[in-house]
């Protein structure tokens, strides 16, 4: 499979008469864009607000992020989700870089939603403060889940994907400024030189714990809770096969933007044929019952061994209960003779003194930490709030609270906030990029 991603580098986003891209400026016809959003009758209120790095803006509750794209030759950007099923990862896709469509709740937030500051102290905690963000701020008539801690956010998430496709279509007839090419020969057809290098598989564990449908990550529109570990071409992940779900403490979340740009996949591609033989992606899942976790780990280990993997990188979307899947997978791979590195964040408590993962094993001796979800963050008021700041305290966001006997409410009367890192939108970037650095004292 050969995937070409043609990039257009966005330097500015403005509203105008026609949705178009020229000389680094993305222009959006706001009314046309909102018409695409309102195709779903469940959308009751909607607005689009542009935010830029350095703006004195706080955005909350953020539900999803998507890179605007267009599939050359026709077909949906997200097969099986925004259109018919088709193979992704082969052909050409056009991408508007340095920008994202952010899906933001106008009122109601929940456990899986987060916060982004576009400037100030808070901006350092998430990559999205560095992007030109097209904020879809909307509400729906999905009253059954408005006051629920867990929200499927279906109408809002799908509206964000439609909007990203609409914006991406403006470059359909243009020549990209740069083309990234991703190609791997079939495993059994590679040159002797490549075959002689250490073989590495990437094991991804997307969020799939909810047994009720509608919350989990999707693969070609299929709920990952119904999936057993599956071998996938890395191009499929980069090209719209994977969609973020709506169940995950937010700093640990893999947004759809993360899947589209998955840094660890790109890094392994960079080393392919030089220092490693990149075999591909084993897409696993996260389960609830212990037997399910053990079964998935066995599948992963068998698959890696059968593919001839000498080493593996395992990344989990989340922490807590998923730690059991994460560690079981690493142990099973090590037992199969596959040297394994893990990527995860930690939950070590506000003082940093607690056990970092729910379960541990001596064989999990090469773990890359992406941060502590429980770290306390205090931020001053921001001039403008997009969405509703009170959602951070009122609606059970994973890092916010309505009251604490010592700290009070996450949202103070002057608009300043105190929260756990948990609520920083995709702040820990377990996908392989991070604004953080670990220092040993």
Residue whose entry in the numeric block shows the structure tokens 């756990």: 420
Residue 431 lies in a domain: no
Residue 430 lies in a domain: no
Grade residue 438 by pLDDT with cuts at 50, 70 and 90: low
Residue 383 lies in a domain: yes
Residue 386 lies in a domain: yes
User: Count of CB atoms within 10 A of residue 12's CB?
Assistant: 14
Cα distance between residue 412 and residue 321, in whole Å: 32
Residue 420 has pLDDT above 90, yes or no: yes
Residue 432 lies in a domain: no
Model pLDDT, residue 429: 85
User: Long-range pairs for 211-214 at CB < 8 Å and ≥24 separation?
Assistant: 211/288, 214/152, 214/154, 214/246
Number of domains in the chain: 1
Residue 104 lies in a domain: yes
* Minimum mean pLDDT range among 160-169, 221-230, 267-276, 430-439: 430-439
Per DSSP bridges, beta strands 99-105 and 57-66 are antiparallel
Model pLDDT, residue 218: 98
Give the residue-averaged pLDDT of 247-271. 96
- pLDDT tens digits along 141-200: 998 888 888 999 999 999 999 999 999 999 999 999 999 999 999 999 999 999 999 999
Residue-averaged pLDDT of the chain: 95
Who has greater pLDDT, 149 or 234? Answer: 234
Residue 434 has pLDDT above 80, yes or no: no
Give the residue-averaged pLDDT of 101-121. 96
Model pLDDT, residue 147: 83
DSSP letters for 310-339: SEEEEEES--SHHHHHHHHHHHHHHHTT-E
Give the residue-averaged pLDDT of 307-319. 96
**Does residue 327 contact residue 357 with C-beta atoms inside 8 Å?**
yes
278-200-319-289 Cα dihedral, nearest 10 degrees:
110
Residue 217 lies in a domain: yes
21: closest CA among 172, 235, 207? 172
Residue 237 lies in a domain: yes
Q: Give the domain extent around 135.
A: 2-423
- pLDDT tens digits along 323-343: 999 999 999 999 999 999 999
Grade residue 437 by pLDDT with cuts at 50, 70 and 90: confident
Residue 248 has pLDDT above 90, yes or no: no
Per DSSP bridges, beta strands 25-28 and 12-15 are parallel
Query: Can you list the alpha helix ranges (DSSP code H) found in 84-211?
Result: 143-146, 154-168, 192-195
Grade residue 441 by pLDDT with cuts at 50, 70 and 90: low
């Amino acid at each position: 499979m050969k995937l070409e991603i043609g990039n257009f580098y966005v330097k500015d986003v403005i509203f105008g008469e026609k949705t178009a891209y020229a000389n680094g400026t993305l222009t959006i016809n706001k009314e046309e864009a909102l018409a695409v959003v309102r195709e779903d009758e469940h959308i009751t209120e909607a607005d689009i607000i542009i935010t830029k790095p350095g703006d004195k803006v706080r955005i909350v509750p953020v539900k999803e992020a998507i890179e605007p794209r267009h599939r050359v030759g026709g077909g949906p950007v997200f097969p099986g989700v925004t259109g018919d099923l088709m193979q992704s990862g082969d052909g050409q896709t056009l991408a508007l870089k340095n920008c994202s469509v952010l899906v933001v709740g106008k009122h109601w937030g929940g456990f899986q939603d987060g916060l982004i500051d576009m400037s100030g102290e808070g901006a350092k905690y998430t990559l999205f403060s560095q992007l030109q963000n097209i904020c879809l701020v909307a509400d729906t008539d999905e009253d059954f889940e408005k006051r629920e801690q867990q929200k499927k956010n279906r109408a809002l998430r799908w509206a964000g994907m439609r909007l990203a496709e609409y914006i991406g279509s403006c470059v359909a007839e243009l020549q990209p400024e740069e083309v990234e090419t991703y190609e791997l020969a079939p495993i059994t057809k590679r040159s002797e030189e490549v075959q002689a290098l250490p073989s590495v598989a990437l094991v991804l564990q997307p969020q799939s714990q909810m047994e009720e449908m509608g919350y989990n990550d999707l693969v070609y529109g299929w709920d990952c809770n119904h999936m057993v570990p599956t071998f996938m071409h890395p191009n499929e992940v980069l090209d719209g096969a994977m969609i973020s779900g709506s169940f995950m403490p937010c700093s640990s979340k893999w947004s759809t933007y993360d899947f589209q740009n998955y840094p660890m996949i790109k890094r392994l591609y960079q080393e392919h044929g030089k220092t490693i033989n990149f075999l591909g992606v084993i897409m696993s899942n996260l389960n609830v019952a212990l037997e399910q976790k053990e079964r998935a780990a066995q599948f992963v280990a068998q698959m890696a061994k059968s593919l001839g993997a000498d080493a593996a990188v395992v990344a989990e979307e989340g922490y807590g209960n998923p730690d059991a899947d994460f560690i079981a997978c690493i142990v099973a791979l090590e037992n199969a003779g596959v040297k394994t590195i893990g990527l995860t964040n930690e939950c070590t408590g506000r003082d940093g003194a607690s056990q970092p993962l729910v379960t541990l094993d001596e064989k999990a001796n090469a773990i890359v930490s992406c941060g502590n979800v429980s770290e306390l963050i205090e931020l001053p008021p921001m001039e403008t709030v997009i969405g509703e700041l009170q959602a951070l305290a009122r609606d059970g966001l994973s890092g916010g609270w309505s009251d604490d006997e010592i700290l009070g409410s996450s949202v103070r009367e002057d608009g300043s906030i105190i929260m756990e890192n948990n609520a920083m939108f995709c702040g820990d970037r377990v996908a392989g990029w991070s604004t953080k650095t670990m220092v040993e004292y």
